Copies of this chain bind each other. A is one copy, B any other.
Amino acid sequence: MSEAEVHDVARRGRVAAVGLATATRALKDAALLSMADAIEAAAPAILTANASDVETARQDNTAETLIDRLTLTADRITAMADGLRDVANLADPVGEVVRGYTRPNGLRISQVRVPFGVVAMIYEARPNVTVDAAGLAVKSGNAVLLRGSGSAYHSNLALVQVLADAAEKAGLPSDSIQLVPGTDRSSVSHLLHARGLVDVVIPRGGAGLIEYVVTNSTVPVIETGIGNVHVYVEATADLDMAEKIVVNAKVSRPSVCNSAETVLVHRAVAGEFVPRITSALQAAGVTVHGDPAFAGQSGVVPASDEDWAAEYLSLDMAARVVDSTDQAIEHIRRWSSGHTEAIVTRDLEAANRFVAQVDSAAVMVNASTRFTDGAEFGFGAEIGISTQKLHARGPMGLPELTSTKWVVYGDGQIR
């Protein structure tokens, strides 16, 4: 795709954004429900398109786990439709007054949530992100440009056609939901340089994709989701609780960004806890990559700096014994990706210090790192988990898809 073609798509999005910004909640919710019904009704065509993507992926010898992520079924389509219905039930973030006051000179000032305008989502493999992102964009009054993976191109094309058509029939502006055409990387690059046409780019995917987007974009980016996550078992920890939390944080869903990758154990409890957590993790199928203190345990692989840096996203866990809470914090400061870290402790001072000094989007005391999640935080929907400090940090809900505008009423005031 040429730059002109991609920027034309963005320009159509800008026109749609004008109407979307003032669409009522009633209209947006009606559109979401129509979109849900439409993808269920169009399931046969969507499944056919998806089958052709899956066929190509098989011919390319794609890994089975990726094929599973790519594959749609009737049940998965119903789940996507139900997701849209859930979004219809959420509060509308647009129009919320964030702050408001009257100045001594009588000016009435309020800061009001407004949509960004045009949001571009760049993502990998799973076609359900297409539906999710379209739903969240509609609800927050943003026009959306969807750039999924080339491997899901036909699935995304079929889904967006159905979604866009249903949204327009329900009364939303045309081009509210658009697929960025083309499957080559140049179309991504053109999107990233559409400054003034696209208000924000949100990449969702692996480290490579996110790095590419952040390094190349002149449009503002919200970074999401790399998680090198730590659990620190402090000297006073309840070791039963610590074992439960470490195993849950690692094993309950190893492929997601809030799963733990490293356990740090205070030397004072290492004698008891190192053999115990090693066995428990191994019993759950985990390969432990340990420092010298762990390496004495049977089956433990010696850890190197690569292990401290790794976001395994698999049944592997790095493990280290530390001399103090300060050393644990220092280890986290050096190796963490700033997503989530947890401490297990009964000591108030240690908990306070850990919370104050660990610089991550979420810091947990006596809870599994798996709770860093939009649904678990009560947001109802999640756009992703931001690991940057600008605009949004941690799980992002609908309000994080908005900006604000200052509205000032006077009766002739001048300076």
Spell out A's residues near B (CB within 8 Å).
Answer: 18, 21-22, 101, 103, 107, 109, 111, 114, 116-117, 195, 199-200, 214-215, 218, 220-222, 238, 241, 244-245, 248-249, 252, 333, 351, 355-357, 359-368, 370-372, 376-378, 388-391, 393-395, 403-415
Contact = CB atoms under 8 A, between A and B. Distances in A.
A214 B366 CA distance: 41
B363 A414 contact: no
B245 A412 contact: yes
Per assembly, the copies of the chain total 2
Contacts of A359: 18, 21, 114, 117, 405
B218 A409 contact: no
Contacts of A363: 405-408
A411 B371 CA distance: 13
Contacts of A218: 214-215
| 4 interchain residue pairs of minimum CB distance | A367-B410, A248-B414, A389-B403, A391-B391
Given A200-B389, A220-B388, A408-B365, A248 B376 contact: no
Most buried by B among A103, A111, A389: A389
A408 B222 contact: no
A404 B362 CA distance: 9
Contacts of A195: 214
Given A390-B390, A391-B390, A405 B360 contact: yes
A179 to B, nearest CB: 23
Contacts of A372: 406, 408
A407 B355 contact: yes
A367 to B, nearest CB: 3
Given A116-B389, A365-B409, A390-B390, 16 more contacts: A21-B359, A22-B357, A101-B378, A103-B378, A195-B214, A220-B388, A238-B412, A241-B412, A245-B412, A351-B409, A363-B406, A366-B409, A368-B413, A370-B414, A372-B408, A394-B406
Contact of A107 (B101, B220, B351, B371): B371
A393 B403 contact: yes
A210 to B, nearest CB: 12
A251 to B, nearest CB: 10
A187 to B, nearest CB: 20
Contacts of A361: 405-406
A408 B367 contact: yes
A200 to B, nearest CB: 6
Contact of A248 (B389, B394, B415): B415
A175 to B, nearest CB: 16
B371 A415 contact: yes
A362 B394 CA distance: 28
A409 B367 contact: yes
A372 B415 CA distance: 11
Given A117-B359, A366-B409, A404 B393 contact: yes
Contacts of A245: 412, 414
B199 A389 contact: yes
25 contacts: A21-B359, A103-B376, A107-B371, A109-B378, A199-B389, A220-B388, A220-B389, A249-B414, A252-B414, A351-B409, A355-B407, A362-B407, A365-B407, A367-B408, A367-B412, A368-B414, A371-B410, A371-B415, A372-B408, A376-B415, A390-B403, A391-B391, A393-B404, A394-B404, A394-B406
A18 B357 contact: yes
Contacts of A333: 18
A353 to B, nearest CB: 9
Contact of A362 (B356, B365, B408, B413): B408
A256 to B, nearest CB: 11
Contacts of A18: 333, 357, 359
A249 B412 CA distance: 12
Given A355-B407, A389-B116, A406-B372, A412 B244 contact: yes
